[in-house]
Structure 1
Amino acid sequence: MRADDALLMRTAFFGLLAAAAAFLFVDLREMTLARAELPGYDPMTTQRPVLPPALTDGMPQMPLVQPETAPEVLRQPMRFELMPGGVLKAEGAIDLGAGDRFAEEIAARGEYVKLILLNSPGGSVDDALSMSTLIREKGLTTKVASKALCASSCPLVFAGGLAREAEEDAILGVHQVFNGGEDRPSPEQAMSGAQSTTARIARHLDDMGVEPGLWLHALETPPDRLYYLTPEELAAFKLVTEPVATAREGG
């Protein structure tokens, strides 16, 4: 076995262990009622801030840059706007069905679309993975503009870009994500679902050429916090394919 393959397998293995540990840390009784708590994970609800505090040991800290878009706009179901120059803007929460609507939009626009401009607090993992896969199949570029947001499952969409760009002051962050299934999953079901989702995400990021270490930060960060990625980390994890550009350079 090549050294690179062995390293990847170890990383995926420890990632799964981290996911299991994170869910075991949660009180089993609370996990049994997890479905009742799901509104706290949904960016489309008003109970949860669109931009959660950073994960810290002390007082929660907000990022230095705030999104330019109003929270009520970001909470709306994802919508698509065709812009000049082959740019398709995808803005809002990744609701259930966003992946299908995105596929319809791409099919309708033919070869005109070249770049997907993201501004989203995240949402459905399945839809994010579906969008990301289609973006890669079409060879499109993904971009997060200055003071735009790409958080939670949105970086999975961003990872699909054949080229991936982030302007200076773009806000990218990750945290624990999972798909809701049963109305009230048992602890075992919640654990199984978390591990399955983690494995799918790790495999997808590897296929997209993103370093798997990125998702370890997500696994360590509760859903009510965000791990904000620095420009240096964006480059180190290969989430961007070129250095972070200033707004002037990014166009």
Structure 2
Amino acid sequence: MSSLGTPAPQKGATRGFIARIAAVEDGAILKTVFFAMLAGAAWVLASDYFDLNAMQPGDMAVAPGDPLLPAVDRPEIDPDNPAYRPLEQITTPPEQLAEPLSIELVGGGVLMLSGTIVPGAATRFADEIERRGGYVETVALNSPGGSVEDALVIGRLIRENGFSTAVGDGALCGSSCPLVLAGGVDRIVSDNAAVGVHQIYAGAGGDEVGSAQAMSDAQTVSARIARYLEEMGIDPLVWINAMETPPDRLYFLTMDEMEQTRLAALS
């Protein structure tokens, strides 16, 4: 035993552990850290939802489902920088954004998706692509989001068909809509558009079993989203911003953030 009371074999084991850690590739370490963050953020997501459900209606500034949610507080925000006031750039009336998703071929190879992604929207989108997909080159988005499941399916269909995606001047792509944006082979966002993300908003039971199931569901869906983004060639770390943002707010992504995570390029 050494003078510090540490057996020599234990020192050797420690050196061996350090050597094994040093041999791990940086990418593997980053991926492990990311998924640890994902699990922690999913727990916060579920906890925030339970707190939100406990509020009375008057306690919330904006109820989830409002198509124009306010921006979440960010310490780095410069109030004089228009990049941090994206809601001012949205020109579509809120009542139009709140309508169920409309799908319209507007000419020039552009298929416009406008409104809320309601359950079943992916089936309607698939039917439209089957009928008129040969005319489509770009899917334009103007949506406050909605069903995550439908957004993931629409995004995959867009990628499978080789379409581009775009968010044009005055348009909003919020909540689950950026998952559709991610499906484009090329992804263009106007510097006069708004792209925002927030936590998944899902129902939960009031008892302990329901709460545990809601937390499990949140973790599962968050992991699926991260894997989907990685498959689309987008840095899944972009979704950390969503998991840190309550469902009654939006984290509006800056152009720098979208370019750095490969979610989109400037138009």
TM-score bracket for the superposition, by shorter chain length: 0.7 to 0.9
Which one of 190, 207, 210 corresponds to residue 214 of structure 2? 190
More helix by share: 2
Q: CA deviation at 1:178?
A: 3.9
Going from structure 1 to structure 2, the CA distance change for 1:80 and 1:27 (only over 3 Å counts) comes to closer
**What amino acid sits opposite 2:68 in the alignment?**
L
Q: CA deviation at 1:143?
A: 0.1
Q: TM-score, normalised by structure 2?
A: 0.79
Going from structure 1 to structure 2, the CA distance change for 1:183 and 1:41 (only over 3 Å counts) comes to farther
Alpha-carbon distance between aligned partners in 1 of 2:74 and 2:29, rounded to the nearest angstrom: 33
Alpha-carbon distance between aligned partners in 2 of 1:180 and 1:140, rounded to the nearest angstrom: 33
Equivalent residue, structure 2, for 1:51? 68
Going from structure 1 to structure 2, the CA distance change for 1:169 and 1:192 (only over 3 Å counts) comes to same
Equivalent residue, structure 2, for 1:170? 193
Cα pair 1:121 1:150 within 8 Å, conserved: yes
Q: Gaps spanning 5+ residues in structure 1: where?
A: 43-47, 246-251
Q: CA deviation at 1:12?
A: 2.2
Alpha-carbon distance between aligned partners in 2 of 1:69 and 1:28, rounded to the nearest angstrom: 31
Alpha-carbon distance between aligned partners in 2 of 1:105 and 1:182, rounded to the nearest angstrom: 36
Alpha-carbon distance between aligned partners in 1 of 2:161 and 2:226, rounded to the nearest angstrom: 21
Equivalent residue, structure 2, for 1:223? 247
Alignment coverage as a number of residue pairs: 232
Equivalent residue, structure 2, for 1:126? 149
Which one of 230, 233, 240 corresponds to residue 206 of structure 1? 230
Going from structure 1 to structure 2, the CA distance change for 1:141 and 1:29 (only over 3 Å counts) comes to closer
Residues 15-74 of structure 1 deviation map (CA, whole Å, 9 limit, x = unaligned)? 12111133235557947x9xxx9x9433xxxxx3x211111179xx95363311111111
**What amino acid sits opposite 1:53 in the alignment?**
P
Going from structure 1 to structure 2, the CA distance change for 1:219 and 1:110 (only over 3 Å counts) comes to closer
Going from structure 1 to structure 2, the CA distance change for 1:29 and 1:232 (only over 3 Å counts) comes to closer
Q: CA deviation at 1:168?
A: 1.4
Equivalent residue, structure 2, for 1:22? 45
Alpha-carbon distance between aligned partners in 2 of 1:206 and 1:158, rounded to the nearest angstrom: 14
Q: Gaps spanning 5+ residues in structure 2: where?
A: 1-23, 76-83
Q: CA deviation at 1:10?
A: 2.2
Residues 182-237 of structure 1 deviation map (CA, whole Å, 9 limit, x = unaligned)? 79872111111111111111111111111111111101100111101111111011
Alpha-carbon distance between aligned partners in 1 of 2:206 and 2:105, rounded to the nearest angstrom: 37
Alpha-carbon distance between aligned partners in 1 of 2:48 and 2:154, rounded to the nearest angstrom: 32
Q: SS of the residue aligned with 1:111? A: helix
Q: TM-score, normalised by structure 1?
A: 0.83
**What amino acid sits opposite 2:36 in the alignment?**
F
Equivalent residue, structure 2, for 1:100? 123
- Aligned-residue Cα RMSD (Å) equals 2.7
Percent of aligned pairs with the same residue?
A: 43
Cα pair 2:144 2:172 within 8 Å, conserved: yes
Which one of 113, 130, 149 corresponds to residue 172 of structure 2? 149
Alpha-carbon distance between aligned partners in 2 of 1:28 and 1:149, rounded to the nearest angstrom: 28
Alpha-carbon distance between aligned partners in 1 of 2:206 and 2:50, rounded to the nearest angstrom: 18
**What amino acid sits opposite 2:257 in the alignment?**
E
**What amino acid sits opposite 2:127 in the alignment?**
E
Q: CA deviation at 1:96?
A: 0.6
Q: SS of the residue aligned with 2:89? A: coil
**What amino acid sits opposite 1:23 in the alignment?**
A
Alpha-carbon distance between aligned partners in 1 of 2:64 and 2:177, rounded to the nearest angstrom: 14
